[in-house]
Structure 1
Amino acid sequence: MNHVADLASGCLQTFQTVYSLFNQKLYAYILKKTNSAYMAEEVVQLTFIRLWEKRETLSAEYNLSTQIFRIAGTILIDQLRKEAVSKKHLSVVEDDFALKTDTEQPEMLHALEQAIEQMAPVRKKVFKMSKVDGYSYKEIAEMLSISPKTVENHISQALKQLRAAFSSIISLAVIMEAIIKK
């Protein structure tokens, strides 16, 4: 059976067969590489989406498994890069908040509490579970029956909200300090 030609022609039954043949192998491979079930699931899902989207560009010269694993490798690299960038941004923001709350204690702490209270209820809960209670994204996702990606998005949005709140407070503090010095 020529899976590449059948896929290129848009045969859904062939796609389902290919999915059945490679789903578990690909999952095991990515899991071994990343040690993350979440990442393995994500990469496998994105790989088969891309395989279907790019089915017309598949090459009959190469083995289908080679092409599938090449797609998965590219997607894995993209996902790891996104995760690294996200973690870098989160740590910069967290370090920034830690420094500011340590140096300008009562006013900053009060402003932080107010900014957190203004968050949407679910975002506030996710943020507190992560930053106050110390739960991992995966633990929060399981407790709230949401995906780890949703948890990550809530944390990211919460940090953006806090950064926006703090930037206006800090701007006001700088202006007040300049006025006092005059």
Structure 2
Amino acid sequence: MNQLYIKQKVFSLSGKFTVKDQQENDKYYVEGSFMQIPKTFSIMNTARDEVALITKKVFSLLPKFFVEVNGQEVLTIKKEFSFFKARYTIDAAGIEVHGNWWDMDFQVLQQGQIIGEVSKEWFSWGDSYKVQIIDEEMETIVIALVVAIDCVKADEAAVSSSAST
């Protein structure tokens, strides 16, 4: 079982941050596109090879995000139409998310087996998440899922703040 930590930089306009292991060694690098359409987040290993890509669909009535791991689309996060509270669904073959993923406190399951657990670290500067990887073969998918959910949350926050001004 691996334990990883995602800590975003609060004032990073481009969305660059790292995923670290328990010894605080860099494990993955995440870089968001800045002022580019479509908005993407690239997840790279320590050799700087891209292992996952998150892309926001550009022309869509409701926001939709695609997650690719090793060149294969593995899941989609899309906003559902609702009047009061934002509601999203995660479509993935055999992968489910149980818990409160909006508050970053959830389990990732594949065919009913827990492959990862995510919890938000409170009292930290910026967003920090602890990610426990139970099935090490699924590590990249779990990390991509966490980054994608965080991307969806940031997108929703940006829409909410622009709508209120």
Q: Please indicate the TM-score interval, normalised by the length of the shorter structure.
A: under 0.3
TM-score by length of 2: 0.27
TM-score by length of 1: 0.25
Is the radius of gyration larger for structure 1 or structure 2? 1
Structure with more helix by fraction: 1
